[in-house]
Structure 1
């Protein structure tokens, strides 16, 4: 990981004959502009061709941008604090395969306890890259040769040691929590629910059928970028109050919504 200027990075990648891929969340005016000027083979909606295809227009997209699109994305590069997404370099004709790579990593957990992994959010990406060893980068980044992203304080570059097609690991390292092992988090969550929500927590075990419920909720918190104990506790308690112990789909993060804004919206909803 090294500091870099996004414009210098883009120039370097183009000099190597690579395409520049802009991973962009929905809700930004630049998305509309890029859709109007790029042919269909130079962009894709990540949620298309997945179980959440009905949300494709509300989810992230990927655009292959060239020199003609430089002015369109200028404001994004100048304002990374808007958390619009990040940049990657790809080999020519690799877009479709790279979209398939992320679609395979989009949903976390098993039905009906599934959550969307916000890989397009530069904050989620930065948190994952902080804890990923070099050997785990290929399975995470797939066909991306190099990526450029805002880590919260500066622009950073990470190069993929082995770009290409890689299977989804059984236990993806990027879903491991940064502040402690999964075993510790599971134990802490279990103790919290036993101590403060014992009666509701019994529903997880009677009748049997939710052996992975707690693990799935923690994975959902990671996918949403909820890193604090208070955020995880809120998610656990609200999930226990729902029919089938499953949060409704509309409780997921909205386009352009930060993890903090997401939590605030749901807290307001439960109080209101």
Structure 2
């Protein structure tokens, strides 16, 4: 086990704290299945359950309480942080209902007419935000958690909470003012699109991997999208599904012309490729 993680675990046990896993249920391989197999799922909650976000329950973060002894049963998670399964916190106050309410209060981001979900279960997001926040601001994000340790895509980073407590609405949200590194944003987009392919187009995805590995193919398409200035979800999904389709994948319409904006390029591809499929 990594020395940083091991030292952090020893210190939390010394202070007689228990542990809370914050799990990304959309990670691959499935960490929830692993935790049930490890027989540690005795006290857990799904953050979005029984709330206005219940419609997104399949993507909901899970909070799993573990004792100091139970943490030894999940060593596979601790030795594979690159799977981005979530992160670990320690707490003296371990009522998961309180912790769930804390994170539910922070889960929905409303910016005028725009609404999105805060990816609190993503270790890269949390590592970046906790690293950037001033120490005095961390309590607003960590709430009742005494300490946390996250994999930032390169290393484990630990963060102490100077004032663990329940901070109800209204509260400041300084973490939402922090710009995400491009590498983190790209990794999240890639993860979400891979999940979308398997959920929405399983047959086409299965057919693709019979001829080539999925990950390098997906990386190639996302590099094309970035070069073309296609960043909207509808543009990315259009690109992937039509690049998987044997009728449209190799057509000469794809390259962007010198006199086109990204929007014009996308519109032309939609028109031509949709017509090609209709004529099949």
Q: Above 0.5 in TM-score?
A: yes
Gapped regions of structure 2 (runs ≥ 5): 197-218, 223-230, 243-280
> Whose radius of gyration is greater, 1 or 2?
2
* Cα pair distance change 1:176/1:77, threshold 3 Å: same
Q: Note the C-alpha offset of 1:154.
A: 1.5
In the alignment, is residue 30 of structure 1 matched against residue 26 of structure 2? no
Equivalent of 1:270, from 226, 234, 238?
A: 238
Q: SS where residue 52 of structure 2 aligns?
A: coil
Q: 1:56 & 1:144 partners in 2: Cα distance?
A: 23
Q: Which residue of 1 aligns with 2:78?
A: 77
Q: Which residue of 2 aligns with 1:243?
A: none
Q: SS where residue 148 of structure 2 aligns?
A: strand
* Cα pair distance change 1:109/1:21, threshold 3 Å: same
Higher relative contact order (CA 8 A, sep 6+): 1
Q: Note the C-alpha offset of 1:4.
A: 6.1
Q: How many residues align?
A: 199
Q: SS where residue 156 of structure 1 aligns?
A: strand
Gapped regions of structure 1 (runs ≥ 5): 180-220, 232-249, 255-259
Aligned pairs for 1:2-151 (under 5 A) are 5-27=4-26, 28-35=29-36, 37-38=39-40, 40=42, 42-66=43-67, 67-71=69-73, 73-109=74-110, 113-151=114-152
**Over residues 4-39 of structure 1, what are the superposed CA-to-partner deviations in whole Å (9 max), with x where a residue is unaligned?**
621321222122111111111114443124346346
Q: 1:164 & 1:269 partners in 2: Cα distance?
A: 42
Report if the CA contact (8 A) 1:4-1:157 is conserved: no
Q: Note the C-alpha offset of 1:264.
A: 9.5
Q: Tell me how large the CA RMSD over aligned residues is.
A: 3.4
Q: 1:170 & 1:93 partners in 2: Cα distance?
A: 22
Q: Note the C-alpha offset of 1:171.
A: 4.6
Q: TM-score, normalized by length of structure 2?
A: 0.61
